[in-house]
C-alpha cells in the first residue's frame, strides 16, 4: 500500500519505533521522540513543533494515552468522556510549537500525525481537505474527537461488516486479516490512504479501486 513517495518514511518509523514505550511510562526515551518528530517532518518539513515542549507535556497526557492503548479505531467506544479526553490531548499537542512574533501557531494536521505515531491503531491522520470533506467543521480537537474519529469508525465498520459477511470472524480478527493483506498497515492507516486519495488528491472512487498500489 504505497500511494505516494513519502510512504518510505512512514515505513521506516513503524519498523524502528518501539510503540510500547508510549503507554508504559511517561518518561519516554529521547530516541523515540526523535523518531516520532522525524516521521512528522517527513510529511511536513515546515512543522513548528518543539520536541522539548513535547517532552514537558507528555507526562500530563500520558494517563489518557495509557487508557486508550488497547483500543483501535474499530473497538473504541466514543462516549462523551472518551471524546473529551481525546480533545484534551489533541488541543494540548497543537500548541507545542515555537513562538513567532510572540505567538504560538497551532498545528492541526501535524498533531494528528503525532497522535497516529503514538497509537497508530487508534488515531487517523487528517489534513484540511480531508477535514472539510468529512466534517465541514473548524480545525480543533473538538472536531477531531467528536466528529472526525467517529466518522472514521463508521467507515471502518462498514468495510469490516462487508468482509465479515464474506469471510466470517469479528472486528478484531477481520482487522488483523485485512492488515496482513496490506503491508501490515492498521485499519486507521488504510483509512488515511483512502482519504488522501479521495479528498486530498481528488481521485474518484473508481480510480481508487483500480489504482495499482
pLDDT per residue as tens, the chain (213 positions): 455 556 788 999 999 999 999 999 999 999 999 999 999 999 999 999 999 999 999 999 999 999 999 999 999 999 999 999 999 999 999 999 987 767 889 999 999 999 999 999 999 999 999 999 999 878 899 999 999 999 999 999 999 999 999 999 999 899 999 999 888 899 999 999 999 999 988 887 666 666 544
What one-character-per-residue DSSP string does 65-89 give?
A: HHHHTT--TTT----HHHHHHHHHH
* Residue entry with cell 516521521: 39
The answer to whether the CB of 124 falls within 8 A of the CB of 73 is: yes
How high is the pLDDT of residue 101? 64
The answer to whether the CB of 96 falls within 8 A of the CB of 36 is: no
Nearest-angstrom CA–CA distance, 71 and 151: 16
How high is the pLDDT of residue 209? 60
Secondary structure (3-state) at 16: helix
The answer to whether the CB of 23 falls within 8 A of the CB of 66 is: yes
How high is the pLDDT of residue 210? 63
Amino acid at each position: 500500500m504505497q500511494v505516494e513517495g513519502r510512504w518510505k518514511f512512514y515505513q521506516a518509523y513503524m519498523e524502528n519505533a518501539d510503540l510500547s514505550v508510549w503507554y508504559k511510562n511517561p518518561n519516554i526515551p529521547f530516541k523515540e521522540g526523535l523518531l516520532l518528530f522525524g516521521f512528522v517532518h517527513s510529511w511536513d518539513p515546515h512543522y513548528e513543533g518543539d520536541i522539548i515542549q513535547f517532552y514537558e507535556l507528555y507526562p500530563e497526557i500520558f494517563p489518557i494515552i495509557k487508557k486508550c492503548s488497547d483500543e483501535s479505531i474499530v473497538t473504541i467506544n466514543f462516549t462523551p468522556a472518551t471524546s473529551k479526553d481525546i480533545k484534551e490531548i489533541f488541543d494540548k499537542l497543537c500548541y507545542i510549537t515555537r513562538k513567532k512574533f510572540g505567538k504560538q501557531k497551532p498545528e492541526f494536521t501535524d498533531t494528528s500525525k503525532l497522535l497516529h505515531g503514538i497509537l497508530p491503531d487508534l488515531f487517523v491522520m487528517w489534513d484540511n481537505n480531508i477535514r472539510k470533506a468529512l466534517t465541514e467543521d473548524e480545525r480543533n480537537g473538538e472536531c477531531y474527537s467528536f466528529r472526525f474519529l467517529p466518522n472514521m469508525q463508521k467507515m471502518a465498520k462498514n468495510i469490516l461488516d462487508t468482509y465479515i459477511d464474506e469471510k466470517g470472524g469479528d472486528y478484531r480478527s477481520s482487522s488483523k486479516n485485512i492488515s496482513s493483506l496490506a503491508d501490515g498497515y492498521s485499519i486507521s492507516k488504510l483509512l488515511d490512504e483512502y482519504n488522501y486519495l479521495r479528498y486530498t488528491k481528488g481521485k474518484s472512487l473508481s480510480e481508487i479501486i483500480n489504482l495499482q498500489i
